[in-house]
Amino acid sequence: MDRDIDLFLDMMAAEKGAANHTLSAYRRDLEGLQKFLETRASAMRAAEEEDLRAYLGALNKRALAASTVARHLSAIRRFFTFLQTDALREDNPAENLARPQTQRPLPKILSIDETQRLIDAAYGLSETSPAEKLAKARAVCLIEILYATGLRVSELMGLPRMACDTDMAALIVQGKGGRERLVPLSEPARQAVRAWLVVRDAQPGAPNSPFMFPASGRLGHLTRQRFTQILHLLAARAGLEKRRISPHVLRHAFATHLVENGADLRAVQQMLGHADISTTQIYTHVMDERKRRLVEAGHPLAAQAKFTMREDKSRR
């Protein structure tokens, strides 16, 4: 494959602190463009704006979501900006490409009651054998930390053993771009961490692992796939649909429940590790949407009001 792609990915990792899954997505998108250019007897350094527009048109013909096309465009823009900045080509054929219109979907969320049922399911796991005791302590610790902090799943899986401060009042988290933040721990989460560390450190080889949740695989720590499996097991025990449950849904639950209970949006932004407050503001839209649905479902004149509004608009 094109060496320029490798150079670009090296830059993104070293200078931007891009995560592995982000780098993999960039590689897939750019290699897709490269294969398309080959069908037009062109190459990355020789690509013209017309070639890039043709590629985006081909993506649209595949009926991909606007957000997916936008992701491809973002990779293309960054790549050609890199080529121009590093003097690998004089111009930037991507600079005039328009971003497709996208509407950010509201995040999937769990109610407080549903979240509590999921947590209760972890505490209800059997512990009749040493293996079950280990699995239960880990599941409880994972879900308590996630709901108490709203960590990204990559942050939680790779959490260092020494991430807790001395009195376990907070976690020190290294997020996107290598930015560190301090996230408070709730009392249930602190208790779950203490209980987990007792069981964890008793396992052969575990005290030597740098990770909070060590595993024997290539990464050395629990994978996001295995954690999702654990959550689906808990969902089944809690009577919740598996398709509604994921680590990211619990991150959304953390943020939504905080905002619903009056938390300052800036504080939530800092805890989530969002670089831009606009990303955090989506949770205020979640609140507005839920309030609207409550009114429409429970207010005796809501349906009439909607009909009247539509009728008034049709008369204009």
pTM over 0.85: no
Q: What angle do CA 289, 292, 295 make, to 5 degrees?
A: 150
Dihedral (CA of 53, 54, 60, 65) sign: negative
Residue 182 to residue 170: CA distance in whole angstroms: 6
Residue 235 to residue 241: CA distance in whole angstroms: 6
Residue 207 to residue 204: CA distance in whole angstroms: 8
Residue found by looking up tokens 């891009």 in the block: 18
Residue 170 to residue 180: CA distance in whole angstroms: 13
Residue 144 to residue 187: CA distance in whole angstroms: 10
At CB < 8 A and 24+ separation, what contacts does 96-101 make?
Answer: 96/49, 97/49, 97/52, 97/53, 97/56, 97/73, 99/70, 99/73, 100/60, 100/66, 100/69, 100/70, 100/73, 101/66
The pLDDT assigned to 302 comes to: 47
CATH class given for the domain over 3-85: mainly alpha
The pLDDT assigned to 286 comes to: 55
Domain positions in the chain are 3-85, 112-280
The pLDDT assigned to 123 comes to: 97
Residue positions annotated with a catalytic role: 152, 176, 248, 251, 274, 283
Residue 211 to residue 200: CA distance in whole angstroms: 10
**Distant-in-sequence, close-in-space partners of 18: CB < 8 Å, separation ≥ 6:** 9, 12, 26
What's the token pair of residue 102?
A: 């996208």
The pLDDT assigned to 309 comes to: 39
Residue 297 to residue 301: CA distance in whole angstroms: 10
SS3 235: helix
**Residue-wise pLDDT tens digits, 38-47:** 998 888 998 9
CATH class given for the domain over 112-280: mainly alpha
Task: Give the pLDDT means over successive 10-residue stretches in the chain (316 positions).
Answer: 86 88 93 92 88 88 82 93 91 82 62 94 95 96 94 91 76 79 90 93 90 91 93 96 90 87 82 76 60 47 44 41
Neighbours of 310 (CB within 10 A): 9
SS3 164: strand
